[in-house]
Structure 1
Amino acid sequence: MRRNKVVSIAALVGATALALAACSAGAPAATPSGSSTTAAAPVATTVFKVAFNQPETHPEYIALKAMGERLKQRTNGAYSIDVFPNETLGAQADTIQSVQSGTIAMSVIGGSLLESLNPDFVVFDLPYVFTSQAQQRAVTNDPAVVSGLYSSLDSKGVHVLGAFYGGVRNVYNKTKPINTPADLAGMKIRVMQSDTNIEMMKLMGGTGTPMGQGDVYTAIQSGVLDGGENNELIYSTLKHDEIAPYYSYTRHLMVPDYLIINPEIFNGMPAADQKIFQEELVKAIDQENTEFGAQVDAAITAAKAAGAKFNEVDTAAFQKAVAPLTESKLTDDVTRKIYAQVQAAAK
Structure 2
Amino acid sequence: MKVLHINAGLEKGGGLFHIVNLLTEAKLEKRDFELLTLAEGPVSSAAVSKGIKTTVLKTKSRYDLTSLKKLIDYINDNNFDIVHTHGPRANLYLSLIHKKIKAKWVITVHSDPTKDFEGRGLVGFIFTQLNVHALRKADGILAITKNFANLLTQKLKLNPEKIHVIYNGIFFHTGAQIPAKYEHPYFNIINVARCEKIKGQDLLIKALKDLHDSHIRLHIAGDGSELENLKQLASDLNVANQVTFHGFVSHDELGSLYQKMDLAVLTSYSESFPLVLLEAADNLIPLLSTDVGDIKKMIPSPDYGFVSPIGDLEMIKEQILKASLMSASELREMAKKEKKYLEHNFSVREQLATVLDAYGEIENAK
In the superposition, the TM-score normalised over structure 1's length comes to 0.31
Bigger RCO of structures 1 and 2 (CA < 8 A, at least 6 apart)? 1
